[in-house]
Every structure is written in structure tokens, then in C-alpha cells.
Amino acid sequence: MMYDIGIIGGGTAGITAAIYALRAGKKVILIEGMTYGGQIVTSPKVENYPGIASISGSDFATNLLNQAIAFGAETELETVTGIREDEGVKVIETTGKEYPCRTVIIATGVTHRHLGIPKEEELVGAGVSYCATCDGAFFKNRDVAVIGGGNTALQDAAFLSNYCNHVYLVHRRNEFRGEKGLVKPLEARENVEFVLNATVKEIIGESFVEGLLLTNKTTDEDFEIKVDGIFMAVGQTPKNDAFENVVKLDGSGFILASEDCMTSHPGIFAAGDCRTKEVRQLTTAAADGAVAGLAACQYIDQA
């Protein structure tokens, strides 16, 4: 069966693209390897999406998927292994089947790097977060820690200092990898404290975060800091390995795509966190999905 648009990835960007394409009368297959909804599913509360005052990430994702299915989206839970061009047709290859499509939208998102320390996975949503912009406001007037030393960690600490009582910025080296221009303003903020040459040993707390156990790399001594929230800022990994021979990637593995979401390969688009962009939020994922969905429709109609 030939599909007009094959969408790889069932997060906000992918499902939004499906909704726009289906409303334009296109036949759409939505392929997801794990769980529909993307990373937002793990957020206990979403309060930064326009028009929705408050909703759980799980409910948001469920509503979005149900909307796409109601418009006629076909869905498959399969792992995509690649894309090939076959006489002008894009063939999405999975571990189980092949799906011929006129166009393809890659919306595979990213995975946040985890530290792999005790209690990290158990306390996600109970004090452990991977998005300061998403969850920072929930920690107003409380003490938090940011883990990392790059630009994201520095920017997260600056953002959180506007809400939180005290922000510990924990880094395993004696100086930050991020831009000096981001460090200087933080040095001037009274509620930001640098904790350098320290590694995270474990998270303290049973049902929710109560603190961090750290190790001083110079003295090899352990010490604790009391915090209510921990923001991991140790990097993101795009899930684009299967497409590196089909579309161009940047040095970090993100898909190079223009503002219309077109990649280096005609008829293949990229939407959401997997593509090169400055801001990766729920709203920008939805915006990318709308743009990519309409661009794919236009590509088909002009062929």
C-alpha cells in the first residue's frame, strides 16, 4: 500500500504533522518505535502550552494521538531501521515491514542523557527533571541543583535563579565548558552557588527528592546538599543514526533542515527536536509538525 506521507516518530511533532496532513486529505502512516507521545508523557504537569492552563503530559499525548486517529491516521509500533529511495518512492524500512511513501517526515526527537545514578529513574517527575524551562516554575522559592557544565546547564541555572530560593550548579571539573559570557552573570547572582570538582554519587530521597550526595574530586570526601529539585543538563542525543546515509546531519547528529523543515533529501522533512534548531519545547515541536505536514502536502501536490 502506498502512503502519501510516512511519519517516523509519534511525539508532538510527528502527531501534529499527521493531523495537518490528514486534514489536507492525505493518506498517513505514523510509525513509533516505543511509546506514542514522546518525552512529554513523563511530565506530571504541563503548564506552558498556549490555551491549556494545566494538563498532565500523559493526558496531553493521549488527546493528541486520539485526535490524529479520529482524522484517519494509521499507526504502527515498529522500529525504523532506515529509508531508501526506490524509483522516486521513499521506502521506510522497519524490523518487520516496509512502507512505501511519497514523502517522509522524520520526527524521532531526542533522548536526554542520564547520569545513571541511584534513584535517578525512580524520581523522574518527583524532583528529577531534564527540562528547566518546562518544570522550573514548580520549584518557586525552593532549593534546586543543576548538574552539568555546558551552555545548557548555565542557561538553566540562570533561568531557575529567577524562581528558586537557591540554585547549586554542580560540575565535575574546576571550570565550565560553556561560554564565559554565560558564567559571569551567574557569578553576580547571590542565589547561585557553584559546586565545582564534584561528581554526583546518588540522589537522596524515597518518594521525592530530598538532596544529593556528592563526592569532592580533590579530597575524595563525600558531602550532601539539601535540594527539592534536580535538573539534569548533561546533554541530549538525537535518534538519527538510521538516517545518516539519507539526510545530512550536523556535528552533533541533528538533521540539517531549513525553516520549512526540508532536509538535504527532496521529499524528506524533519520536524521537532531531532532537527537543527535553537529552542526545543512542546510549542516548537507542534509548530514544526504543522510546517512539515503542510510542506509535505505541498511537495506531493506540486509533483
Q: How far is CA 85 from CA 13, 46, 76, 246, 262, in A?
A: 24, 39, 21, 9, 16
Is 135 known to be catalytic?
Answer: yes
> CA-based Rg of the chain, rounded to a whole angstrom?
21
Cβ(154)–Cβ(183) below 8 Å: yes
DSSP notation for 178-240:
S-HHHHHHHHT-TTEEEE-SEEEEEEE-SSS--EEEEEETTT--EEEEE-SEEEE-S-EEE--
Residue 131: active-site member: yes
CATH topology for the 128-232 domain: FAD/NAD(P)-binding domain (3.50.50)
**pLDDT > 70 fraction of the chain, expressed in percent and rounded:** 100
Domain ranges within the chain, ordered by starting residue: 3-112+236-302, 128-232
- State phi, psi for 161 to the nearest 5 degrees: -65, -15
pLDDT digits 0-9 by tens, 130-151: 888 888 889 999 999 999 998 8
Class of domain 3-112+236-302 as given by CATH: alpha beta
pTM of the model: 0.75
Put residue 253 in one of left, alpha, beta given phi > 0 → left and psi -120 to 50 → alpha: left
The answer to whether 35 and 9 have CB atoms below 8 angstroms apart is no
- Quick check: 115 pLDDT over 90? no
Catalytic entry in 134, 164, 261, 297: 134
Domains 3-112+236-302 and 128-232 share a fold: yes
Helices (H), 72-212: 132-135, 151-160, 180-187
Q: Is 50 helix (H, G, I), strand (E, B) or coil?
A: coil
Query: Of 14-23, 27-36, 101-110, 111-120, which gets the smallest average pLDDT?
Result: 111-120
Instruction: Mean pLDDT check: name the lowest of 11-15, 175-179, 205-209, 283-287.
Output: 175-179
Residue of 259 and 3 predicted with greater confidence:
3
Q: Which of 4, 86, 101, 131 is catalytic?
A: 131
Choosing from 4, 59, 101, 135, the catalytic residue is 135
Q: Of 143, 135, 139, 138, nearest to 170 (Cα)?
A: 143
For the cut 80, the answer to whether the pLDDT of residue 43 exceeds it is: no
